[in-house]
Amino acid sequence: MMNHISANKIFLSNVAEIRQGYQFRKKIEDNPDGSISLVQMTNIINGKNIDYQNLARTSETGFKKEHFLKKRDVLFCARGKNNYALLIDKDIKNTIAVSQFFTIRTNKTKLLPAYLVWYLAQPEAVAYFKSNTLMSTVPLINKKTIENFKLVLPSISKQKIIADIYRLKEKEHYLIKQILHKKEKLINAVLLKSIKNQGLSHDKP
């Protein structure tokens, strides 16, 4: 995690296009025959990944070209107590995000999307958004706040190194959690077996 950074910073709006997700006028109803897939907050796994297999679909029309998500877009969750950013890491077609998200499309000659995801997870960024949250029934962050966020832009090569290390660290955490989960299941299975075996031995005449 980075400490307070005093280097020169630049407004995010100077190196990225920021758009709010599509605002539906009525409750979203899943239509399996619809041609458009929707990314909603319920599709986010641990604030890091999108469950692409279970996206709702809609038959609504009238979406503009800019509504559709592209690979390497960054989704920023602007609603709720926990704000997070995640990367669209695969080619997706006919998919849009709902209004709880902002889509950030960076100028990739200046700002790598994966570096931005890392930067937005740092304590200084988290503190900025918490201090600029609009308090209502559901806390939210508006577009202006995201546009006015300032960040340090090292060289693209340095951004890539940081993003790669962050990706490997996240992968390591995931693998460790998987190992611990399997280890716990194995230990519990062994303990349960020992209880059953003890019960059988007591039943012998």
| One domain, residues 64 and 85 | yes
The residue out of 153, 168, 195 marking a domain boundary is: 153
Whole-angstrom distance, CA of residue 164 vs CA of residue 179: 22
Record the tokens describing residue 138, joined without a space: 């559901």
Number of domains in the chain: 2
* Coil/strand/helix, residue 76: strand
76 CB contacts (<8 Å, ≥6 apart)?
83, 84, 85, 101, 102, 103, 104, 120, 146
Record the tokens describing residue 9, joined without a space: 């910073």
| One domain, residues 164 and 145 | no
Whole-angstrom distance, CA of residue 73 vs CA of residue 88: 5
| One domain, residues 101 and 77 | yes
| One domain, residues 127 and 137 | yes
Please indicate, yes or no, if residue 136 is contained in any of the structural domains: yes
87 φ, ψ to 5°?
-100, 135
| One domain, residues 96 and 167 | no
Burial of 132 (0-12, 13-18, 19+ CB in 10 A): middle
| One domain, residues 70 and 94 | yes
Give whole-number Cα distances, 80 to 136, 138, 187, in Å.
10, 6, 38
Record the tokens describing residue 21, joined without a space: 């997700």
Instruction: State residue 2's pLDDT score.
Output: 47
pTM given for the model = 0.81
Record the tokens describing residue 29, joined without a space: 């109803």
- Domain range spanning residue 104? 10-153
The residue out of 153, 178, 194 marking a domain boundary is: 153
Please indicate, yes or no, if residue 116 is contained in any of the structural domains: yes
Instruction: State residue 203's pLDDT score.
Output: 55
Whole-angstrom distance, CA of residue 183 vs CA of residue 186: 5
Amino acid code (one letter) for 71: K
One digit per residue, the tens of pLDDT, for the chain of length 205 reads 444 455 689 999 999 999 999 988 888 888 888 889 999 999 998 888 899 999 999 988 788 888 999 999 999 999 988 899 999 999 999 999 999 999 999 999 999 999 999 999 999 999 999 999 988 778 899 999 999 999 999 999 999 999 999 888 887 776 787 788 888 988 888 888 888 876 555 555 5
Please indicate, yes or no, if residue 4 is contained in any of the structural domains: no
